Structure 1
Amino acid sequence: MEFDVRPAEVFEDVRTLIGPRSPTASVCWCLSHRLPAKVEKQLRGPERGAYVAELCRADPAPGVLAYDGHEPVGWAAVAPRADTAYARSRTIPHLDDLPVWSLWCLRVRPGHRGRGVTHALISGAVAFARKRGAPVLEAYPLDNGDDGGARVDVTMAYAGLRRNFERAGFVYAADTTSVLAGHPRVLMRLDLR
């Protein structure tokens, strides 16, 4: 199945993928790795959605969306690493001084999983970063075993799985000291030059 992947410029579609059911809830909105922790914790309820709405109007957009027809079915956060909390991370190493971009969150709507949306999102994020001049795209997925068979809770799979990035051409670049849902995260890279 083919999905249309576009920059995340339509706030209503972004809200469909990462927004809360209740507008007053203080859910992630995919801001926890985009902002310094102090700023991220100060944004409460509707302020979080308003911040994301501003990001959707900015250039570059805060990521990409996958569509099945006109329906938004997937989200990927992708941005210059320097503009994310990963720029200051003590658990995800910096390998060099290249102005790399980061791909750190993948979300597929229930009812659309297992149909290739994640693969489309990764490919779309690669194209998005390449078009904007990124020399390298990094991801920090879970390493859930040599065969990828160790179960990962769907709510914690937002970082992606190593094997999905390998299928997209990313290569292992380094271990990290980050652990998510009991699985180590690895640093994967794709050279876009």
Structure 2
Amino acid sequence: MTKTKSGALKVKDLTKATWNDFESVMGSNGGASGCWCMHWRLSIAEFMEQKGDGNKKSMKRLSQRKQPPGVVIYEDDDPVAWCSLGPRGDFSRLERSPLLKEVDDTPVCSIACIYVEKKHRKSGLMPAILDAVCDYAAAHGYTTVEGYPIEPAKGKKAGPDSVMTGVASAFVKAGFDEVSRPRKDRPIMRRTVS
């Protein structure tokens, strides 16, 4: 359990039991533009074809599998965030991305998306969320966690569509190191966990 200023963070698999909390975090629009966190799991054509309800149904099916597609993060009992994570190979669009190519052959737990519930944004929770997610990954046998945050230009703000993978400064605060920078605003970051 990761401590925060106002409580403790808990991480729970996305399952039938936590589905309503996932919906609460994602809001009625399913995160950004009806994504329901399917962006990295589908081709752009598939994603656009099922945008909204179709993506929601796909994620609901994934939540019923043995290996969950991600986790819901709680501050005390309040669902505050969602994190899509798992083996890099689970994210077909990430695997095909010319920008976010595999750095090396190290097996990683990829953090493909971090979505913070609207009222908890700008609260400084992100490093603690990343810590909690890394603890979860370590408990599930991973030794390396990899993220693909953005690093907005100085003085620029990034919107929810572009920060779905997180912000580099939060990863640094959570103990991640940059291992590659394929583009000026896109570092690939890793943290060793045990």
CA displacement at 1:90 relative to structure 2: 0.6
* Equivalent position amino acid for 1:6 in 2: K
The residue that corresponds to 2:171 in the other structure is: 165
> TM-score of the superposition, structure 2-length normalised?
0.82
Shift in Å at residue 173 of structure 1?
A: 0.3
- The separation in 2 between residues aligned to 1:110 and 1:45, in whole angstroms, is 18
Please say if residues 25 and 116 of structure 2, whose CA atoms lie closer than 8 Å, have aligned partners that are also in contact: yes
Residues 116-161 of structure 1: per-residue CA shift (max 9 Å, x gap): 432232112212222222232111111235xxx5332342322211
1:49-60 superposed matches below 5 A: 49-60=56-67
Among 127, 133, 137, which residue is 2:145 paired with? 137
How far apart in 1 are the matches of 2:46 and 2:136?
A: 27
4+ runs deviating over 6 angstroms: none
The equivalent position to 1:5 in structure 2, one of 7, 11, 20, is 11
Distance (whole Å) between structure 2 residues aligned to residue 94 and residue 154 of structure 1:
26
User: 2:115, 2:33 → 1: CA distance?
Assistant: 18
Letter in 1 for 2:168: R
Report deviation, 1:44: 4.1
Are 2:153 and 1:152 aligned? no
Hey, what does 1:189 align to over in structure 2? 190
Question: In structure 2, the residue corresponding to 1:111 is in which secondary structure?
Answer: helix
| 1:160–1:44 distance in 2 versus 1, CA, 3 Å | closer
State the SS of the aligned residue for 2:141. coil
Q: 1 CA distance for matches of 2:185 and 2:138?
A: 28
Question: Which residue is 1:63 aligned to?
Answer: 70
Task: Look up the match of 2:3.
Answer: none
Q: Per the alignment, in what secondary structure is the counterpart of residue 185 of structure 2?
A: strand
Cα deviation, residue 108, structure 1: 1.5
Partners of 1:111 and 1:33 in 2: how far apart? 25
CA shift for structure 1 position 165: 0.7
Tell me how far 1:21 sits from its aligned partner: 4.2
Residues in 2 aligned to 1:43 and 1:152: alpha-carbon distance in whole angstroms: 29
Q: Does 1:27 align with 2:24?
A: no
Distance 1:119 1:174 in 2: 20
Percent identity, aligned pairs only? 26
Q: 1:19 to 1:52 in 2, by over 3 A?
A: farther
Q: Is the 8 A contact 1:66 1:120 kept in 2?
A: no
Aligned residue pairs, count = 183
CA distance in 1, matches of 2:66, 2:137: 12
**CA RMSD, aligned part only?**
2.4
